Structure 1
């Protein structure tokens, strides 16, 4: 009984709630809130961070991008596909390099379907599981994060991804590289977004030379000059240990698409 009143007194002193409310609180209510599967997340959970995030790889620039990031001590998230720009197995060494360098590997589906938002739950599941198996074969993990192709979250997308345990990422800054924006236009998008408030999760694509070799170095300098840490999406959401739902997965011997 004494310990109970001592806990209530401590919580009241910390200003968490009134004693009456604290008596109803559960232990999980006092823990940091981690991302929920199947819920759209657009930005970081705290200020002072920038989560560089690249879609549509692996591609011919993946290895060079990892080198640029590593040289700056920056971490990023790669939303990989299985077959969008050739078979993922043909870029297995680049995928392994990114993973071994401590960057987050996440899913962008197997084929990057244009109709992702209107696909059935079974079709979405197949898209996700095919990439899961490829990543198990290449790096031995199953990602817990994904970004939907074309940022489509309607129809069966969120319920299905939630049932599969995926944390769904979109963005709050668009570099516009996919739409032909110049590097200076992309830079302006970040400057307009600013460095206040919670950290940004941008939409960028590693399939553009200018994004890899011009925009990324500029972002590294921009972050440094504004005191921002360059982290993975999982870390910027306070979920650094939750980037993968399974590790040490056995492969099935497949090495082609």
Structure 2
């Protein structure tokens, strides 16, 4: 048990090692000079606009998507395909956005596999990364995700957009944290107009002013080739969430 605890601590301290280790919580990039713009809770009505903003800046982002939180993922099929075609990372945020720590292993697997099936139908890929709703990694969460091969992302800066922080309040958190050290992985939500149209452009400028490269979470962990699970997957033809 002691050896396992020490090993887990070493993995958390080493982003590069953690990137290749499913079931280990990762909070920051493994290298300096990067900023991983990571968005939860979509896809939603702003997804396509957000992709345009990132593309115009030459930035790459990571989208942690749910199946049903803000409407059925299939209703945003065009935006999903657009984000993937633009080279952004598509990752999982579970099917219904529950507290995973309150679920059984079987229920956690269902939350993950439903997202996998939808993404295979839409982009032909299964994600290798996920961010747990409410950042809940208690109970059976980490062992189950490890067994499923998922790399588990939380954050090192919570923008607080979910808690009614204004863009200015969120921006102050980045200014306070500074651009030094290993790169940030912030908690943001693409379902808020102000996050997409005010905070994101500010972060793009902040990164430029501080010589930070805007990358996917996988790239900031030295795992650019591991964004998706290996294999050729066959769509099942489903087009609705029911």
TM-score (norm 1): 0.86
Cα distance between partner residues in 2 of 1:129 and 1:158:
16
Residue in 2 that maps onto 1:176: 160
Cα distance between partner residues in 1 of 2:84 and 2:26:
23
Residue in 2 that maps onto 1:51: 36
Cα distance between partner residues in 1 of 2:73 and 2:233:
18
Residue in 2 that maps onto 1:242: 226
Cα distance between partner residues in 1 of 2:198 and 2:88:
20
Residue in 2 that maps onto 1:37: 22
Report the aligned-residue RMSD. Answer: 0.9
Aligned residues: 225
Residue in 2 that maps onto 1:104: 89
Structure 2: give runs of 5+ residues left out of the alignment.
Answer: 1-15
Cα distance between partner residues in 1 of 2:61 and 2:174:
16
Q: 2:54 aligns with which of 30, 53, 69?
A: 69
Contact map agreement 1:143 1:246 (CA 8 A) in 2: no
1:206 deviation in Å? 0.1
Please say which structure displays the higher CA radius of gyration.
1
- The answer to whether 1:166 aligns with 2:153 is no
Cα distance between partner residues in 1 of 2:238 and 2:66:
16
Structure 1: give runs of 5+ residues left out of the alignment.
Answer: 1-31
Q: 2:191 aligns with which of 199, 207, 228?
A: 207
Contact map agreement 1:175 1:189 (CA 8 A) in 2: yes
Q: 2:72 aligns with which of 87, 96, 99?
A: 87
Q: 1:154 aligns with which of 119, 122, 138?
A: 138
1:246 deviation in Å? 3.0
Residue in 2 that maps onto 1:231: 215
Cα deviation, 1:63-103, whole Å, max 9, x if unaligned, reads 00000000000000000000000000000110000000000
1:250 deviation in Å? 1.3
Q: Detail structure 1 runs of 4+ shifted over 4 Å in the superposition.
A: none
Residue in 2 that maps onto 1:253: 237
